[in-house]
């Protein structure tokens, strides 16, 4: 049961799936949405009332729609005449009704035109009636709906059995004048329950499926968080009450803060006295302001900060306020424990037995920006792209970021975004990362933040939506090959601009209107209008800026890859990675093959890798390293246990048993069949052995 965030007397019954979706967001550039993937989307809700223009006329229109036979709506005649389910039938879900009333290429032209004549508020009334309908109402559903009488005339707020019908809305970007683009959520939409498993720094490994007790030959990735405190930049906290998580965190004591404006007690009183603005803050922020406002001027603390007040630098608010957030699973361990227990119950595993949660989905994040003086554009991506491995690793090698509040402009953050933190040659990490994708078979997704094209600002609205969409898709539905075959993804082709060819094919595949309608339709009432054609195809906004954005990408690819040949580390790249570096730097491989050459694409197949001498060398190096480590443990324990002065310590620490186990481990990793069991792991870079 969930209580309404607006009317505390209203409750909803929520269905929860025991099967979780583990999302992994690696190689995400600054401003790309690492933190937003795990934030509660409820913080972004805008609440309103279900609207009716003319109650009697609108309800009559709804009744006519409910009475319609939809059996002959399909463009394919073979599909017509079979589906006679009524809108209110218990054999038709609300998602089916939304699909029914959303224009689609599957429908006839005449039917789509009829759908376009239905006002949006009428469709929403149909969805509300469907969501609220109970079988015992029969055909007498009208009497349950009404509007109040305001000043002698019928109002516009719909009521269900006397209670106002609340509509949740969500922002998806801004219009060019800065106003919010708000869209109604489905009446049955309930946000995903999220447990944050990573932020900036993650440790990961690749494990054969059999080791995890999972079916199939593909390996799986397992990740764990390396941080206790998460370095957050609450971009949306400047909107009072919007980022409730940031307001809650910043109102806590002992929070590390940077680039927030120091405020005194008088500032707190002024904020509290401004009743309208004060009321928009969430409760924790209001309590903080009131607590400081009540303090005498001479009582500590003399200074405090407000989440909506970044530090003023040269009279302008900083765009890079930061704070350290206590990791959510530590701050609220109960929610994490419940999620872990649900996984154990679903998989029928004793709660005392550790159960790794392998990654289900990999979606990196990119930051887009329009052109600015001295800043090239980087805004060619639409909300969601799928890239095959060659194009994906061009992205990861260059790790381009657009201008964001934490950067001074567009550029490369180093391979896998680890440039400032990596003491080893980046090629070692790239070899392992590429191998992990090939062995696991994960599809490579990119979500976008900042802008879609030069004219549409979206900030992190897409980042919040991506986990909601993917968690509502089955594993089969998320399969990129299937999505391409069914028209949910389209390949971005090279385009001609001003007489030259722009290699836009490096952008891979991007989501289509069909994808938006089908899968964002599990979130929104009107999924067909959430993303305009200009948002899905940014080149329609400005072809010249689109071309310049692609040029920025290609030139960055070339510049970054050339460095690997300049310092000689390209010679340490595995064959598929070496091919990508050569194409990035020189336009073709050493033997003249381009990105589209089948021989190049074949380098990235799992079968080719498993048969490769370079992969065998990695596994040999891995076994050698483990034998050496196990042997060193046996040697150290043997020498210590054999000392005449170590008898007491040996007994107290159980070192004799440890030595027995160490010898068993040495025998295990030295056995001829152990090498075969390593297939499916990453192995070890031979130079590190």
Round the average pLDDT of the chain to a whole number and report it: 92
Query: CA nearest 490: which of 467, 503, 507?
Result: 507
CA dihedral of residues 616, 617, 623, 625 (deg, nearest 10): -160
Residue 500 placed within a domain: yes
Is there a cis peptide before residue 301, judged by omega within 30 degrees of 0?
yes
pLDDT in tens, 107-118: 999 999 999 999
Q: Can you tell me the distance from the alpha carbon of 551 to that of 255, in angstroms, rounded to the nearest whole number? A: 43
Residue 400 placed within a domain: yes
Mean predicted confidence (pLDDT) in 568-597: 97
Residue 169 placed within a domain: no
Domain end, chosen from 604, 634, 668, is at 604
What domain range includes position 256? Answer: 237-325
pLDDT confidence band for 410 (50 / 70 / 90): low
pLDDT in tens, 125-169: 999 999 999 999 999 999 999 998 888 888 899 999 998 898 999
Residue 66's φ and ψ, nearest 5 degrees, are -65, -30
Exposure string of 277-306, with b = 16+ CB inside 10 Å and e = fewer, is ebeebbebbbebbeebbebeeeeeeeebbb
Contact 447, 463 (CB under 8 A): yes
User: Does residue 492 sit in the same domain as residue 636?
Assistant: no
Residue 276's φ and ψ, nearest 5 degrees, are -70, -55
Give me the helices (H) in 642-689, please. 647-653, 655-670, 672-677
pLDDT at 409: 64
**Res. 31: pLDDT tops 90:** no
pLDDT at 275: 94
pLDDT at 53: 94
User: Does residue 111 sit in the same domain as residue 254?
Assistant: no
Helices (H) then strands (E): counts for the chain: 25, 26
pLDDT confidence band for 583 (50 / 70 / 90): very high
Domain end, chosen from 604, 629, 645, is at 604
Q: Can you tell me the distance from the alpha carbon of 426 to that of 419, in angstroms, rounded to the nearest whole number? A: 8
Residue 182 placed within a domain: no
Using the 8-state DSSP alphabet, how is residue 76 labeled?
S
Q: Can you tell me the distance from the alpha carbon of 597 to that of 581, in angstroms, rounded to the nearest whole number? A: 15
pLDDT confidence band for 17 (50 / 70 / 90): confident
Check residues 12 and 394 and name the one with the higher pLDDT.
Answer: 394
For the chain, what percent of residues have pLDDT higher than 90?
A: 74
Contact 307, 237 (CB under 8 A): yes
* Assigned token pair, 390: 């060659």
Contact 55, 154 (CB under 8 A): yes
Q: Which of 22-36, 151-165, 206-220, 462-476 has the lowest mean pLDDT?
A: 22-36
Strands, E assignment, 278-403: 312-313, 316-317, 322-326, 361-367, 384-387, 400-401
User: Does residue 136 sit in the same domain as residue 56?
Assistant: yes
User: Does residue 58 sit in the same domain as residue 140?
Assistant: yes
Residue 346 placed within a domain: no
User: Does residue 425 sit in the same domain as residue 539?
Assistant: yes
pLDDT at 406: 63
* Assigned token pair, 61: 């229109």
Mean predicted confidence (pLDDT) in 390-406: 87
Per the rule left: phi > 0, alpha: psi between -120 and 50, beta: everything else, 48 is beta
Using the 8-state DSSP alphabet, how is residue 521 labeled?
G
Q: Kind of pairing, strands 456-459 and 444-452?
A: antiparallel
Q: Is 496 helix (H, G, I), strand (E, B) or coil?
A: strand
Mean predicted confidence (pLDDT) in 451-473: 94
User: Does residue 201 sit in the same domain as residue 157?
Assistant: no
Q: Kind of pairing, strands 361-367 and 444-452?
A: parallel
Q: Which of 288-302, 327-341, 432-446, 456-470 has the lowest mean pLDDT?
A: 327-341
pLDDT at 199: 81
Query: CA nearest 231: which of 274, 260, 186, 199?
Result: 199
pLDDT at 408: 62
pLDDT at 222: 95
Mean predicted confidence (pLDDT) in 61-90: 95
User: Does residue 217 sit in the same domain as residue 242?
Assistant: no
Half-sphere exposure of 216 (CA within 13 A, CB side): 10
Contact 488, 514 (CB under 8 A): yes
- Burial class, 599, CB count within 10 angstroms (exposed 0-12 / middle 13-18 / buried 19+): exposed
Contact 622, 683 (CB under 8 A): yes
Place of tokens 């035109």: 113
Mean predicted confidence (pLDDT) in 451-469: 94
**Res. 678: pLDDT tops 90:** yes
Q: Kind of pairing, strands 500-502 and 495-497?
A: antiparallel
Q: Can you tell me the distance from the alpha carbon of 633 to that of 419, in angstroms, rounded to the nearest whole number? A: 35
Residue 335 placed within a domain: no
**Res. 6: pLDDT tops 90:** no
Contact 463, 194 (CB under 8 A): no
* Assigned token pair, 203: 């440790």
Q: Positive or negative CA dihedral for 327, 328, 332, 338? A: negative
Strands, E assignment, 471-593: 489-491, 495-497, 500-502, 509-511
pLDDT in tens, 499-547: 889 999 999 999 999 999 999 999 999 999 999 999 999 999 999 999 9
The 8 Å CB, 24+ separation contacts for 421-424 are none
Cβ neighbours of 545 (radius 10 Å): 20
pLDDT at 44: 82
CA dihedral of residues 476, 481, 485, 486 (deg, nearest 10): 30
Q: Which residues contact 100 (CB under 8 A, 6 or more apart)?
A: 70, 73, 87, 92
* Assigned token pair, 231: 């370095």
Residue 301 placed within a domain: yes
Split into its structural domains, the chain has a count of 4
Q: Which residues contact 252 (CB under 8 A, 6 or more apart)?
A: 284, 326
User: Does residue 475 sit in the same domain as residue 371?
Assistant: yes
Q: Can you tell me the distance from the alpha carbon of 458 to that of 337, in angstroms, rounded to the nearest whole number? A: 34
Helices 389-398 and 575-586: angle between axes, nearest 10 degrees? 70
Helices 265-273 and 283-293: angle between axes, nearest 10 degrees? 120
User: Does residue 488 sit in the same domain as residue 575?
Assistant: yes
User: Does residue 123 sit in the same domain as residue 63?
Assistant: yes
DSSP string, 140-190: --GGGEEEEEETTEEEEEEEETTEE-EEEEEEEEE-TTS-EEEEEBPTT--
pLDDT confidence band for 2 (50 / 70 / 90): confident
**Res. 684: pLDDT tops 90:** yes
Residue 426's φ and ψ, nearest 5 degrees, are -60, -25
User: Does residue 510 sit in the same domain as residue 566?
Assistant: yes
Residue 553 placed within a domain: yes
User: Does residue 320 sit in the same domain as residue 391?
Assistant: no
pLDDT confidence band for 417 (50 / 70 / 90): confident
pLDDT confidence band for 290 (50 / 70 / 90): very high
Q: Which of 77-86, 147-156, 553-562 has the lowest mean pLDDT?
A: 147-156
């Amino acid at each position: 049961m969930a209580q309404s965030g607006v009317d505390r007397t209203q409750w909803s019954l929520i269905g929860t799936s025991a099967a979780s979706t583990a999302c992994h967001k690696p190689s995400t550039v600054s401003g790309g949405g690492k933190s937003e993937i795990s934030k509660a989307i409820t913080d972004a809700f805008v609440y309103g009332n279900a609207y009716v223009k003319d109650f009697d006329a609108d309800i009559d229109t709804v009744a006519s729609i409910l009475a319609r036979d939809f059996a002959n709506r399909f463009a394919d005649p073979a599909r017509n005449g079979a589906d006679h389910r009524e809108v209110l039938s218990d054999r038709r879900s609300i998602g089916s009704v939304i699909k029914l009333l959303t224009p689609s290429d599957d429908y006839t032209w005449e039917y789509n035109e009829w759908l376009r004549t239905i006002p949006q508020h009428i469709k929403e009334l149909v969805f509300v009636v469907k969501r609220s309908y109970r079988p015992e109402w029969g055909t007498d559903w009208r009497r349950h709906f009404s509007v109040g009488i305001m000043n002698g005339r019928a109002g516009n707020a719909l009521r269900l059995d006397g209670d106002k019908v609340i509509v949740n809305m969500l922002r998806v970007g801004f219009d060019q004048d800065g106003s919010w683009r708000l869209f109604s959520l489905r009446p049955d939409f309930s946000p995903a329950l999220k447990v944050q498993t990573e932020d900036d720094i993650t440790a990961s490994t690749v494990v054969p499926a059999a080791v995890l007790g999972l079916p199939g030959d593909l390996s799986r990735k397992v990740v764990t968080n390396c941080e206790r405190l998460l370095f957050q930049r609450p971009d949306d906290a400047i909107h009072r009450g919007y980022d409730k998580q940031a307001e809650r965190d910043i109102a806590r004591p002992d929070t590390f803060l940077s680039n927030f404006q120091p405020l005194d007690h008088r500032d707190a009183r002024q904020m509290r006295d401004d009743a309208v603005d004060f009321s928009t803050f969430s409760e924790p922020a209001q309590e903080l302001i009131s607590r400081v406002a009540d303090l005498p001027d001479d009582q500590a603390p003399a200074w405090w900060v407000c989440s909506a007040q970044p530090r003023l630098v040269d009279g302008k608010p900083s765009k890079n306020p930061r704070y350290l957030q206590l990791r959510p699973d530590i701050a609220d361990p109960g929610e994490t424990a419940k999620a872990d227990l649900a996984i154990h119950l679903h998989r029928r595993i004793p709660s005392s037995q550790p159960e790794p949660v392998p990654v289900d989905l990999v979606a990196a994040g990119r930051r887009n920006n329009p052109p600015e003086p001295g800043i090239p554009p980087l805004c060619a991506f639409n909300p969601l792209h799928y890239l095959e491995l060659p194009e994906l690793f061009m992205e990861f090698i260059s790790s381009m970021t657009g201008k964001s509040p934490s950067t001074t402009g567009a550029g490369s953050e180093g391979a896998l975004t680890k440039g400032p933190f990596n003491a080893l040659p980046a090629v070692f990490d790239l070899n392992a990362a590429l191998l992990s994708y090939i062995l696991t078979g994960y599809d490579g997704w990119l979500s976008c933040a900042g802008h879609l094209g030069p004219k549409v600002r979206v900030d992190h609205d897409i980042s919040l939506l991506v986990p909601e969409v993917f968690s509502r898709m089955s594993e089969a539905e998320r399969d990129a090959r299937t999505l391409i075959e069914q028209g949910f993804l389209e390949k971005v082709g090279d385009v001609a601009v001003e007489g030259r060819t722009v290699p836009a094919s490096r952008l891979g595949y991007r989501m289509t209107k069909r994808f938006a309608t089908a899968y964002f339709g599990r979130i929104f009432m009107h999924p067909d209008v959430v993303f305009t054609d200009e948002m899905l195809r940014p080149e329609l906004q400005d072809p010249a800026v689109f071309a310049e954005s692609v040029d920025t990408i290609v030139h960055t690819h070339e510049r970054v890859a050339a460095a690997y040949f300049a310092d000689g580390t390209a010679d340490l790249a595995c064959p598929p990675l070496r091919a990508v570096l050569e194409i990035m730097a020189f336009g073709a491989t050493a033997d003249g093959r381009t990105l589209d050459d089948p021989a190049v694409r074949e380098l990235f197949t799992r079968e080719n890798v498993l048969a490769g001498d370079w992969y065998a060398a990695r596994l040999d190096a891995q076994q050698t390293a483990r034998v050496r480590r196990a042997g060193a443990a046996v040697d150290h324990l043997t020498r210590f246990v054999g000392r005449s002065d170590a008898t007491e310590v040996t007994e107290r620490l159980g070192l004799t048993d440890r030595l027995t186990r160490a010898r068993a481990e040495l025998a295990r990793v030295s056995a001829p069949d152990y090498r075969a069991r390593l297939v499916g792991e990453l192995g070890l870079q031979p130079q590190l052995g």
